[in-house]
Structure 1
Amino acid sequence: MIHKKKICVFCSASDRVADIYKDAARELGRLIGEGGHTLVWGGGKVGLMGEVARSAQSAGADLYGVIPESMQDIEIAYHDADELVVTQTMRERKGLMDAKSDAFIVLPGGIGTLEELSEIMVLRYLKYHDRPIVLVNVQGFYDPFVTLMQHYIGEEFAKPTHMDLFTVVGSVEEAMNVV
């Protein structure tokens, strides 16, 4: 029997991104739903966040969204989620997403996604969790991040074992196989 998981997805809230990224978000959502998993995400209806949520819900996933009040106020909340929690702060939001999740999949995104990725990696490094963190390297998006991590290691600001904190895959199918 396959264990049903609560899969947290970090990704962009921008609608301006290329279709290849939107396609990956829709495919990930579909696979989460078809697998009977729950999507844990930032509660947004725009950008890749909206794409993954709509696709997951259409494929049968339960949706657990967490959105800060300030973002809900600008009307980007996905109110059709099975559960949409409104927080006062971004820190509270990330804490709830972390607490609800069995694994983390990181699609392409901007500085908010980078911040979420960095925090969840630090928490894994500090042994607050040992859940998978998987970066979906759509069209080489995360190649510069890997290069940056290697630079940190080369300059001795990080250890070679920091590369073990996350897994980089080339497709959403591979990501689902890791989690």
Structure 2
Amino acid sequence: MTSASQLRLAVFCGSGMGNNPVYRDAARETGRLMALKNIGLVYGGASIGIMGAIADTVLEAGTEVLGVIPERLMKKEVAHPGLTRLYTTQSMHQRKSLIMQLSDGFAALPGGFGTYDELFEIITWSQLGYHNKPVYILNIAGYFDPLVAMIAKGVEEGFIKERYLSLFSVFEEPGPMLDVFRNHVTSSIAEPL
């Protein structure tokens, strides 16, 4: 666990709002439940899109929010001015590495190429043994259905070993996902070495 008093969940999600308000609403609900369960947020540091929506919701509840943003994207992504702490990095790779270090687990909400990049890299790092933290996909309104189907096709065609499907879990609602996260991390801490 990253902190004696608070778990931290990294959330990968869009710097845009998407075309359906359900994505913004789900980000806010995820943030509300994270704060209620005293789970801190680690994310890409932007004030815009559903990234900003989840950060604002967690902050409004008085819960810790850590942002990690490359210097080059400070202006492009509009860094959030009110975070508990904002880290800047020299590169995207350093950003993802620091997010991994600061977090006890990872969740992907709807987003674009950056979200997919972060999700696949964190799954790959788990596959290669760089971390053993839980990874979740929050499949709001079926957004990730095509991705899940693509991964299944990779298994079917022999490019992804079936055992690696256990490296991530898919949820339709944030509440059950956050409960599983909390239980997983706390039970991992309690296990003897």
Same fold (TM over 0.5): yes
Aligned pair 1:19/2:7, yes or no? no
Cα deviation, residue 73, structure 1: 2.4
**Per-residue displacement from partner, 1:73-122 (whole Å, max 9, x unpaired)?**
23610011010011111111111000000011110111110000000000
Within 2, Cα distance between the matches of 1:80 and 1:176?
24
User: For 1:6-85, what aligned pairs fall within 5 Å after superposition?
Assistant: 6-74=8-76, 76-85=78-87
Moved over 2 A (4+): none
Q: In structure 2, what is the equivalent of residue 126 of structure 1?
A: 128
Asked whether the equivalents of residues 34 and 60 of structure 1 are also in contact (C-alpha less than 8 Å), the reply is no
RMSD across aligned positions (CA): 1.2
Structure 1 residues 22 and 35, CA gap change in structure 2 (3 angstroms): same
Shift of 1:142: 1.1
Structure 2 contact 89–95 (Cα < 8 Å) conserved: yes
1:132-147 correspondence runs (5 A): 132-147=134-149
Structure 1 residues not aligned, in runs of 5+: none
Q: Which residue of 2 aligns with 1:176?
A: 178
Separation in 2, partners of 1:129, 1:113: 19
- Kept after mapping to 1: 8 A contact 2:48/2:77: no
Aligned residues: 177
Displacement after TM superposition at 1:34 (Å): 1.6
- Separation in structure 2 between the aligned mates of residue 74 and residue 159 of structure 1, nearest angstrom: 38
Separation in 1, partners of 2:75, 2:48: 14
| C-alpha deviation, 1:17, in angstroms | 3.4
Q: What is the alpha-carbon distance in structure 2 between the residues aligned to residue 75 and residue 148 of structure 1?
A: 29
Distance in 1 of aligned mates of 2:18 and 2:164? 32
Residue 94 (structure 1) aligns with: 96
User: Which blocks of at least 5 consecutive residues in structure 2 are unaligned?
Assistant: 182-193
